[in-house]
Amino acid sequence: MAKQKTNKFFLYLVPVFVLLGALVLTITSKRITTPAGCNIDNYSGQFSEGDNIAVFENKTISVPVLANASEEDTVLGIASPNERWIEVDLSEQKLRAWDGNALFLETPISSGLPWTPTPKGEFRIWIKLRFTKMEGGEGQYYYNLPNVPYVMFFENENVPGWKGYGLHGTYWHNSFGVQRSHGCVNLPTSVAEKLFYWTTPELGNNKWVVYATDKNPGTRIVVHE
């Protein structure tokens, strides 16, 4: 009799375990299928005067005046532009910019979360935008970020540019050194500004956007663990 009661008890538990398993699978699948990269639809590079409020992790944030800084201080390196390259170390959550074999700068970063990882490999910057709006994700991971400054999107033969991976300034959090993004490499805005004018393609005077070309190629970026 006791054995029968035990069997019935476990039979009652089976639906509970099935429901819990389905819930976990749904949450996990939702995270995995959330599109990675920074979704944008404006490649003008211009500052949007009317967008002063951002949304990130269910919080509204005022876009700081710093993001609208208009200075264009070209940074001169030691090496020629084609010898400059950027290293993104995902394990250390650090970025290093190299002028040939000399270290130009080093900074903590925030790369993609486990379910929206930053891709590994060797890339080239294909476009630089002084500003752009980024929007995407869903639920608690929804973001709407106007006037993201100093954006440098990169690509290679396996990761096309339209997927929206890049380096850019960050005003909506200050948690550099830990994973926090939807796939892009979040940088302190002051560091992003230096890299923006140090990297190629070179941006002409009073320009908001520049595409890489054969005569004005993009800086090489190596992303690794």
Question: HEC string of 19-38?
Answer: HHHHHHHHHHHHHHHCCCCC
- 56 and 130, same domain (yes or no): yes
Give the per-residue pLDDT at 206. 79
Q: Which two tokens stand for residue 117?
A: 């990882």
214 and 163 in a single domain? The answer is yes
Cα 58 to Cα 65, 137, 183, 189: the distances in Å are 22, 11, 18, 22
- Answer yes or no: do 111 and 6 share one domain: no
**152 and 197 together in one domain:** yes
Are both 27 and 104 inside the same structural domain? Answer: no
| CA gap 126, 82 in Å, rounded | 14
d(CA 154, CA 161): 6
Examine the domain organization and report whether 176 and 163 are in the same domain: yes
Closest C-alpha among 44, 78, 82, 73 to residue 216: 82
Does one domain contain both 138 and 102?
A: yes
pLDDT of residue 15: 44
Residue 22 and residue 100 in one domain: no
In our burial notation (b when 16+ CB lie closer than 10 A, e otherwise), range 153-172 reads bbbbeebebebbbbbbbbbb
* Phi, psi (degrees; rounded to nearest 5) at 82: -75, -5
Residue 213 pLDDT: 97
Looking at the fold, whether 29 and 116 belong to one and the same domain comes out as: no
Q: How much is the CA Rg of the chain, to the nearest whole Å? A: 22
Q: Are residues 165 and 189 in the same domain?
A: yes
pLDDT along the chain (225 residues), means of 10: 50 43 38 60 84 85 69 52 91 97 97 96 98 88 92 98 97 96 96 97 90 97 98
Q: Are 15 and 52 in the same domain?
A: no
Number of structural domains in the chain: 2
Stated pTM of the model:
0.79
Could you give the CA distance from residue 33 to residue 39 in angstroms, rounded to a whole number? Answer: 15
Domain with 60 in it? 35-224
Nearest residue to 123 (alpha-carbon basis) of 83, 165, 72: 165
Residues 112 and 16 in one domain: no
Distance CA 181, CA 84 (A): 25
| Cα distances (angstroms) measured from residue 190 to each of 9, 13, 82 | 62, 56, 23
Q: How much is the pLDDT for 24?
A: 36
